[in-house]
């Protein structure tokens, strides 16, 4: 289902006093002045961007995007479903503050989510209103920078994806660059230098009102445990603007690596440089780390960065095996997380029936295979498929609990009495039972197909 279009009343709220506003910037207009992507990528600063941001058409698109993204409430408790009525009542005053340069964002709400490799990632959740304004700003600023970003940058960019980044890395390895300099930036989003970022923004934004607003978003502060802490550095993850700001910061790194002639791939703060020898990799690691520390005022995480073979390093969930034809494989860490999630969804203590369990599992599998199906090792998918079916059979065995019940359930599913009795009293361990011939016949793949279980591998 598509996003519901804003109703006429809301569009009228956005349109109040809009006569004479600048229309949104078109990408073609920016590209014409930046077509020659030289090392410094010079662009003439643009005035009157706040009028483009407050343009009704731009705001309607931003509103639709905020609705589609959903997300939780900020510190004021307002949900995306309450935003419509708030805008109808207060938009004229909000618009006046934006155009007058007096609007002040509300501090973001701290939220923590676990990282796949341990630890937590700290997010800053803006209010729904601030998410709307940030999205409107993003739609105007993106055409100013997007045409001049490096072709080696893939993260959070239109028509670019993690799969393209992995394929680019694979191509470098196929060329004989069989060593990788794997750079991990320590707490990147928390360490971005505000002054350097604002200087880069000012190189293309001449509208002082927008620059003040962007600085206000950077300094809005974080509310945690009822207390607001100031933010003197960093771009809190969680708002629409954060990905673009991170690319603007790291575009300087891209330009430096291009100037040095390196073969590299960057996805957000994950950067891999491909070289032909361990010695070259060690040299590149030292010089690039020095540049990141000295020029960008950021820090390289030495414990997570390394010079190694690509097959021993993880990049966006994949490893790439060297050879005459490098092959994309699912990284061991990704397989481990997959198994942990499947175990969580198929816990016997969840208290749901088989149909609901399979339904919940299929939702996860569909998203997972949509990403990791990009691997070139079908046997990995086939093995995981078999493991899932065995896991589900083991869960059924646990549900049946006792020998007489197990025997009766096996016979009800067509297993001969002697085989059913033998299996029911022989296999006390559910995992071992999941591999038994009797249970495999009683609960075959066709059964899981009828329940709607998605197959990871279909030959």
Q: What is the pLDDT of residues 404-451, one digit of tens each?
A: 999 999 999 999 999 999 999 999 899 999 999 999 999 999 999 999
pLDDT at 31: 40
Render pLDDT for 290-301 as a digit per residue (tens, 0 to 9): 999 999 999 999
Least confident of 105-114, 271-280, 322-331, 430-439: 105-114
Render pLDDT for 373-404 as a digit per residue (tens, 0 to 9): 999 999 999 999 999 999 999 999 999 999 99
Find the mean pLDDT for residues 116-141.
Answer: 87
Position with higher pLDDT, 220 vs 45:
220
Q: Check whether 105 has a pLDDT greater than 80.
A: yes
Render pLDDT for 251-286 as a digit per residue (tens, 0 to 9): 999 999 999 999 999 999 999 999 999 999 999 999
Confidence band of 156 (pLDDT split at 50, 70, 90) = very high
Confidence band of 350 (pLDDT split at 50, 70, 90) = confident
Residue 77 CB burial class (10 angstroms; 0-12, 13-18, ≥19)? exposed
**Which among 213, 218, 247, 250 is positioned nearest to 232, based on CA atoms?**
218
pLDDT at 222: 80
Q: Check whether 79 has a pLDDT greater than 70.
A: yes
Find the mean pLDDT for residues 69-75.
Answer: 88
pLDDT at 349: 83
pLDDT at 112: 75
Residue 16, SS3 per DSSP: coil
**Which among 25, 257, 205, 216 is positioned nearest to 105, based on CA atoms?**
216
Q: Check whether 149 has a pLDDT greater than 90.
A: yes
pLDDT at 378: 95
pLDDT at 324: 85
Two structure tokens written together for 282: 């060690």
pLDDT at 250: 96
pLDDT at 32: 38
Residue 437, SS3 per DSSP: helix
**Which among 144, 150, 132, 128 is positioned nearest to 207, based on CA atoms?**
144
Residues of the chain above pLDDT 70, percent: 88
Report how far residue 180's alpha carbon sits from residue 183's, in angstroms, rounded to the nearest whole number: 9
**Which among 360, 355, 369 is positioned nearest to 342, based on CA atoms?**
360
pLDDT at 18: 46
Report how far residue 353's alpha carbon sits from residue 338's, in angstroms, rounded to the nearest whole number: 22
Report how far residue 150's alpha carbon sits from residue 41's, in angstroms, rounded to the nearest whole number: 10
Report how far residue 39's alpha carbon sits from residue 44's, in angstroms, rounded to the nearest whole number: 15
Q: Check whether 321 has a pLDDT greater than 60.
A: yes
The per-residue DSSP string of 195-258 comes to HHHHHHHHTTB--HHHHHHHHHHHTS-EEETTEEE--SB---BTBTTHHHHHHHHHHHHHHHHH
Across the chain, mean pLDDT equals 88
Find the mean pLDDT for residues 222-248.
Answer: 80
Find the mean pLDDT for residues 306-323.
Answer: 95
pLDDT at 225: 66
Render pLDDT for 9-34 as a digit per residue (tens, 0 to 9): 676 678 655 444 555 554 444 443 33
Q: pTM of the entire structure?
A: 0.86
pLDDT at 39: 46
Render pLDDT for 355-369 as a digit per residue (tens, 0 to 9): 999 999 999 999 999
pLDDT at 108: 87
pLDDT at 432: 94
Find the mean pLDDT for residues 228-238.
Answer: 73
């Amino acid at each position: 289902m598509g996003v519901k279009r804003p109703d006429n009343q809301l569009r009228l709220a956005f349109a109040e006093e809009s006569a004479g506003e600048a229309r949104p910037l078109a990408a073609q207009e920016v590209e014409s002045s930046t077509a020659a992507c030289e090392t410094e990528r010079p662009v003439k600063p643009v005035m009157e961007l706040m009028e483009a941001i407050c343009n009704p058409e731009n705001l309607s698109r931003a509103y639709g995007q905020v609705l589609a993204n959903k997300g939780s409430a900020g510190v004021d408790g307002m949900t995306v479903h309450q935003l419509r009525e708030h805008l109808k009542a207060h938009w004229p005053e909000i618009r006046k503050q934006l155009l007058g340069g007096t609007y002040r964002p509300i501090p973001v709400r701290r939220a923590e989510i676990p990282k796949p490799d341990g630890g937590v990632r700290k997010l800053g959740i803006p209010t729904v209103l601030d998410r709307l304004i940030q999205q409107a700003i993003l739609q105007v600023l993106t055409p100013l920078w997007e045409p001049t970003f490096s072709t080696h940058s893939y993260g959070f960019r239109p028509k670019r994806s993690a799969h393209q980044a992995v394929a680019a890395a694979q191509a470098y390895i196929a060329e004989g660059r069989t060593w990788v300099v794997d750079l991990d930036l320590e707490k990147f989003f928390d360490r971005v230098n505000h002054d350097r970022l604002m200087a880069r923004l000012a190189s293309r934004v001449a509208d002082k009102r927008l620059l003040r607003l962007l600085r206000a978003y950077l300094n809005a502060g974080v509310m945690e445990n009822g207390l607001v802490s100031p933010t003197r550095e960093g771009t809190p993850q969680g708002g629409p603007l954060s990905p673009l700001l991170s690319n603007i910061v790291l575009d300087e790194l891209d330009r430096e690596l291009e100037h040095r002639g390196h073969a590299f791939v960057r996805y957000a703060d994950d950067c891999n440089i491909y070289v032909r020898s361990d010695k070259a990799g060690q040299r590149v690691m030292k010089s690039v780390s020095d540049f990141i520390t000295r020029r960008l005022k950021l820090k390289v995480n030495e414990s997570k960065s390394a010079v190694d073979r690509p097959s021993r390093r993880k990049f966006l969930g994949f490893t790439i095996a060297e050879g005459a034809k490098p092959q994309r494989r699912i990284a061991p860490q990704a397989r481990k997380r997959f198994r942990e999630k499947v175990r969580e969804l198929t816990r016997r203590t969840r208290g749901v029936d088989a149909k609901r369990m399979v339904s919940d599992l299929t939702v996860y599998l569909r998203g997972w295979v949509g990403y990791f199906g990009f691997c070139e090792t079908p046997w990995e998918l086939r093995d995981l498929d078999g493991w899932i079916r065995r896991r589900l059979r083991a869960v059924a065995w646990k549900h049946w609990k006792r020998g007489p019940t197990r025997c009766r359930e096996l016979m009800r599913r067509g297993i001969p009495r002697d085989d059913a009795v033998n299996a029911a009293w022989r296999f006390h361990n559910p995992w071992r039972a999941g591999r038994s011939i009797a249970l495999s016949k009683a609960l075959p793949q066709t059964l899981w197909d009828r329940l709607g279980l998605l197959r990871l591998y279909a030959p």
